[in-house]
Amino acid sequence: MTTAAGNTMLPIMEAFYTIQGEGFYTGQAAYFIRTGGCTVGCHWCDVKESWDASVHPLISVQDIAEEAARYPARIAVITGGEPLEHDLTALCEALKAKGFQLNIETSGASPLSGTWDWICLSPKKFKEPLPELLAACDEFKPVIFHPSDIKWAEKFVSLLKKPNVKLFLQPEWSKRDALMPELVEYVKTNPQWQISLQTHKYMNIP
């Protein structure tokens, strides 16, 4: 159901309490909410089961927020799929009412909705990010599948508008060993960037 305040029911693939494994908030406890639905279609995606929104149950934003509030941390991470394929205004309002800091992880290929404390933009070649997401993001974290992806990611840096946007290069998991020497040398030469690892996979946690 959609109202002027956004979707009050959302397809949810899964929601769980864990440790953030990537990017700026690595190592912090957070409640993850993974929406169903994604038309970006990265061939290396590790949650392809999220792509079809119709196979995931519709859950009210109030129920989502109530469940999240059962856990002690007050960081909620909205991810997908591609969460911005839904209007997230109502979800943000429900979570804010429970005292959450709201972080989103998005490809930036869909219009921005909701009110966010932290926007992690992880752009994909398959659908490039919208200018409004480049202007709004706090963290820019392209996934590197091939060395040429570094040069592709560089072209967006001048379009980032917020001061002190955190720049991360994250190797795609299956290519991490092959890519790491090049990423290390690149960051040593370009120290405005950092390397982001999927530490949750090393730790064997969701």
The rounded distance, in Å, linking the Cα atoms of 37 and 84 is 9
pLDDT for the residue 46: 79
Classify the phi-psi angles of 20: left when phi > 0, otherwise alpha if psi is within -120 to 50, otherwise beta: beta
pLDDT for the residue 2: 56
Q: What is the CATH number for 133?
A: 3.20.20.70
Determine the Cα angle at 105 with ends 179 and 147, to 5°. Answer: 20
More confident of the two residues 199 and 118: 118
80 preceded by cis ω (within 30°)? no
The total number of structural domains in the chain stands at: 1
Q: What percent of the chain has pLDDT over 90?
A: 85
**Mean pLDDT value of segment 76-83:** 96
pLDDT for the residue 41: 85
pLDDT for the residue 56: 97
Q: Is the pLDDT of residue 44 over 80?
A: no
pLDDT for the residue 1: 59
pLDDT for the residue 170: 95
- Phi, psi for residue 169 in degrees, rounded to 5: -110, 125
| 139-197 residue pLDDT tens | 999 999 999 999 999 999 999 999 999 999 999 988 899 999 999 999 999 999 999 99
The residue segments making up the domain with residue 194 are 2-202
Q: Is the pLDDT of residue 45 over 90?
A: no
Radius of gyration, CA atoms only, the chain = 17
Confidence of residue 3 (pLDDT cuts 50, 70, 90): low
What average pLDDT is seen over the chain?
Answer: 94
| 96-153 residue pLDDT tens | 999 999 999 999 999 999 999 999 999 998 899 999 999 999 999 999 999 999 999 9
Confidence of residue 36 (pLDDT cuts 50, 70, 90): very high
pLDDT for the residue 167: 98
